[in-house]
Structure 1
Amino acid sequence: MDFTDLQVGSSYRLVGMHFSDSLSKHLQQLGFLVGQDIRIISKTKANIIVQVKASRLALDKDLMEGMNLVASPSQKSLIPLSQVAIGSQVILEQICATGALKRRLMDMGLTKGTAIYLKKLAPLGDPLEITIRGYQLSLRKSEAQLLFVSLQDEVFE
């Protein structure tokens, strides 16, 4: 699959890599294994940020073009909560935090399948104010980037 065809929020399965042995071993140590699902977090003309398991990695266009990716049939298209438009209603599908941070987010009511309404953003975009389970919650943008959601059809004003 070509670099320009990769869509933010979509998952792809790694089916092969075309690199030198040393670079292939390094990428494998980072989690890029054949058969592994890779989610596209963000993308520019020259760089891309991907999620492999619970790790986020920035790669350049040349590295991504050396990987053979196919659309992952097992996962629907998800986007980070930090990229959702104001007034959107979403469903929390995945929490990519680990350890104490994941526990803290879950203790605040952020669990899989929960409806979230993005109420507003601070003037500089951090923090976000959401409505979840009938109460207001402010999240840092860095925390919202770890929460992957699916969009609902409804948009509220």
Structure 2
Amino acid sequence: MPLSFLEEGLKVRIQRVGGLEETKQFLEKLGFVSGADVEVISRTGGNVIVNIKGSRVAIGKEMANKIMV
């Protein structure tokens, strides 16, 4: 299931990251790698704010759709 579908407050583990190679590299630099735990903080205006590796990160819905949990 894509990260963008999760409700606020859920903590899950990333299974895989899809998309073009440069998209994967960008998300990897933010900490979105297979096996990483991520918690959805909020979903507002199409953006998803998550807590990953001790940092809060905001990503767009398109990016969140590429992260499978």
- Does the TM-score normalized on the shorter chain lie above 0.5? yes
Gaps of 5+ in 2: none
Amino acid at match of 1:52: I
Q: Give the aligned partner of residue 26 of structure 1.
A: 26
| Residues 128-152 of structure 1: per-residue CA shift (max 9 Å, x gap) | xxxxxxxxxxxxxxxxxxxxxxxxx
TM-score, normalised to structure 2, is 0.87
Match for residue 67 of structure 1? 67
Deviation at 1:44, TM superposition (A): 2.0
Kindly provide the amino acid, as one letter, of the partner of residue 52 in structure 2: V
Compute the displacement of 1:21 (Å): 0.9
TM-score when scaled to structure 1? 0.41
Render the CA deviation track for 1:104-150: whole Å, top value 9, x for unaligned: xxxxxxxxxxxxxxxxxxxxxxxxxxxxxxxxxxxxxxxxxxxxxxx
Report SS of the residue matched to 2:12: strand
Q: CA deviation at 1:45?
A: 4.6
- TM alignment of 1:86-105, pairs within 5 A: none
What amino acid is the match of 1:62? E
Secondary structure class of the residue paired with 1:56: strand
Q: Residues 17 and 33 of structure 2 are in contact (CA less than 8 Å); yes or no, is this contact kept in structure 1?
A: no
Contact kept, 8 Å, 2:39 with 2:52, in 1: the verdict is: yes
* Identical columns (%): 31
Q: CA RMSD in A?
A: 1.3
Q: C-alpha distance in 1, partners of 2:57/2:65?
A: 15
Query: Does 1:48 pair with 2:48?
Result: yes
Structure with the greater alpha carbon radius of gyration: 1
What is the number of equivalent residue pairs in this alignment? 68
**Separation in structure 2 between the aligned mates of residue 30 and residue 44 of structure 1, nearest angstrom:** 20
Q: Secondary structure at the match of 2:64?
A: helix
Equivalent position of 1:38 in the other structure: 38
| Distance in 2 of aligned mates of 1:61 and 1:42 | 12
